Amino acid sequence: MFSSLLSYGQDAKAKWVGEVPSIASSPEKWQNLVDHLYDEGFYYGAMAASFRMLLFFEDLKTKEKAFQYLVRMIDIGYPHSLLDSFFYGNLDITDKDHFSQSYNFYKGIVNKVKSMKKWSDDYFQRIDKDNFRKYQFYQAIALYRKGQLVESLGVLDEILKGELSDKDFTFAKKVVRTKARIHFERKEYDKSLSFYDDFLLKVNPLTPSDFVERAWNLFYLKRYDELTGTLYNLESYTARNYPSFEKYILRASVYLENCAIQNIGLLQRSFKKEFNRSINGIINGKSLGKLRKLKELAKNTHPEYKKSQNALERVFKEYRKIKTLPSKFRGLANYLYRSEIRMLQNYSKFYKEKALNKAAQELTMLYESIKFLGYSTAREKYNPLTVFLPKEEKKKSLIEVLDYESQGFIFTWRQLGNFWRDERLKYFGEVVNKCDS
């Protein structure tokens, strides 16, 4: 009886224990592979290889190399968090070089997330807190979350006053974008706008959400022609598979503000042309997974699903180029990419239904809002608050707060590379105020 239970326990344990295949059992091969992948621009492969090295091997040399590449991936702007990777393996390093401080900084954060304050404090003590910019930015974000906006701006200004090299480009964009958002929250729209016009939308790679954030500044500044011109950039070829709900909300807000009934009709037709098939499918109970446009929208509605879909796109792109690698790397690279694809596909399936349901909900909510927007816009022409306003107050905004987040609309964009845009920010879309006519 006892022996049979022991045998059952061993069998059960075996199901949860995996063996590293012989092709992937040499740490030296992994070290050489990750060097080559990074040098050749196989960045997803370099990130995935680094994570496997942490899981497969215990020697310090392999672990340190893996963490070095993970830090590099963060520094060059990998679009999703890699902090989870720092849960695995430990290095005892106290140097003040960039890698050592970055490693201790990220370990400090993950231990704080795990509520292990003693360990977190120990890692943070190894950082030059007065001069290490990542820690300073971390402090600025903490102040921002507490609502201490002026103090946060002060820290961000100190970071930008320091010496920044070409390697700090991605980091500098994060700092500047945070400054722009804080000025927006302080209703300093001209200041916020200047950061998009003078820097964020002048350099590649662009982040399309910067066009949206620029547009919101223009909305509150009542520069509607420039706002609608800015939104043309979201129709670019590169952004074709990433439809933005927010561009419709911005346009609708402008037309409502200006009682532009005819423009609302054009907006409704544009929306219907893009999403009518998906909306009818939802209403008629069609399987959500068969609605092409909804599947595209779902990539932006659930963070974990978005992460897996973006990763799959990158891994397939690199996998197709494996044949360009030297023959001595292809076997291990093939194992890495094929296993990564299987893992990501399973991970994606786990979140797919939730993402599709969320996309369907958001789409139908926006559809109903836009469908009845024409009535609201027409009614605005005869709103007593508008009709009987003193003449000198006619141009005041009728909308004090636009809080779409409480309705479930949370907008995020994936990081894109170079793409066509209005480089001079000179596009205009004329909007005529109809409230007085």
CA gap 330, 51 in Å, rounded: 19
Across 75-84, 203-212, 253-262, 423-432, least confident range: 423-432
Res 424 pLDDT > 60: no
> Ranked by mean pLDDT, which of 45-54, 367-376, 395-404 comes out on top?
45-54
Strands (E), 336-425: none
Q: Is the peptide bond before 205 cis (omega within 30 degrees of 0)?
A: yes
Count, residues in the chain: 437
What the block records as the tokens of 83 is 């902090």
| DSSP 3-state of 380 | helix
The H helix count followed by the E strand count for the chain is 19, 0
pLDDT at residue 400, as a whole number: 33
- Over residues 148-183, the pLDDT tens digits come to 999 999 999 999 888 777 778 888 899 999 999 999
Amino acid making up residue 41: G
Q: SS3 breakdown of the chain: % helix, strand, coil, rounded to 5?
A: 70, 0, 30
> Ranked by mean pLDDT, which of 193-207, 293-307, 324-338 comes out on top?
324-338
CA gap 276, 257 in Å, rounded: 26
CA gap 18, 84 in Å, rounded: 21
Res 250 pLDDT > 80: yes
Q: Kindly report the CA angle at 367 between 364 and 369, in degrees rounded to 5?
A: 110
Res 259 pLDDT > 60: yes
